Amino acid sequence: MKNRNTALSDEPTSSALFPPLYNLVYCSRATPGTNEASVARILATAQRWNPVYGITGLLVFGGGIFFQWLEGPHASVDALMTKLRADPRHEAIVLLSETEEVRERLFPDWAMERVTANDIREVLLDAKNSASDPQNAAALERLLVQLKSNELQELGAA
């Protein structure tokens, strides 16, 4: 048959069109000396390099706590996590969630976007309430206590 329609067999499958997206969410505690200027430098680095590695996401910083949402190719996010774990500007990294699925990005336009600190408590509380691992829930509770005491200190210093 002439002009046979071979489109179906030649087209890539949907998984080839959309490779699995790796999503990692963690929070951590800023080390003493990490301040707004450090966060500005972190964001500048992230916005310079994340597009090169296909990473997008968001960063929350407030009350001495970081919360970061990372999405991208598995190998890129893994390589970034290796750097992050060695970064002295934060410590006590708690992995909140890790998934790999064929799906669209949640933040396709954000190389790394800073989100306001007011959202941190809600995000941590939400994660704690839905944590199935009691160790994670306990770690999140410690972060919430830390957040509260940092806020009280900030109030006292004001």
- Least Å distance between CB 48 and ligand FMN? 7
Site for ligand FMN in 124-153 (CB under 6 A): none
Of 2-10, 85-93, 100-108, 114-122, which segment contacts ligand FMN by CB under 6 A?
Answer: 85-93
SS3 category, 155: helix
Angle at 96 between CA 95 and CA 100, to 5 degrees: 90
Three-state DSSP class for residue 57 = strand
Q: With binding defined as CB under 6 A, does residue 42 bind ligand FMN?
A: yes
- The answer to whether 66 contacts ligand FMN (rule: CB under 6 A) is yes
Question: What string of DSSP letters covers 28-46?
Answer: EEEPTT--HHHHHHHHHHH
By CB under 6 A, residue 27 contacts ligand FMN? no
- Binding residues for ligand FMN restricted to 86-105, rule: CB under 6 A: 87, 89-90
Alpha helical stretches, state H, 59-133:
74-85, 120-130
Q: How far is the CB of 49 from ligand FMN (least distance, A)?
A: 4
Stretch that binds ligand FMN, among 3-11, 15-23, 76-84, 119-127 (CB under 6 A): 76-84
Per-residue tokens: 50: 């994340």
Strands 113-115 and 56-62: parallel
* 3-state DSSP helix/strand/coil % of the chain, to nearest 5: 50, 25, 25
CB of 111 to ligand FMN, least distance (A): 8
Q: Least CB distance from residue 89 to ligand FMN, whole Å?
A: 4
In whole angstroms, the minimum distance from the beta carbon of 31 to ligand FMN comes to 9
Phi–psi pair at 38, nearest 5 degrees: -65, -40
Q: Where on the chain is the footprint of ligand FMN (CB under 6 A)? A: 42, 45-46, 49-50, 59, 66, 68, 80, 83-84, 87, 89-90, 112
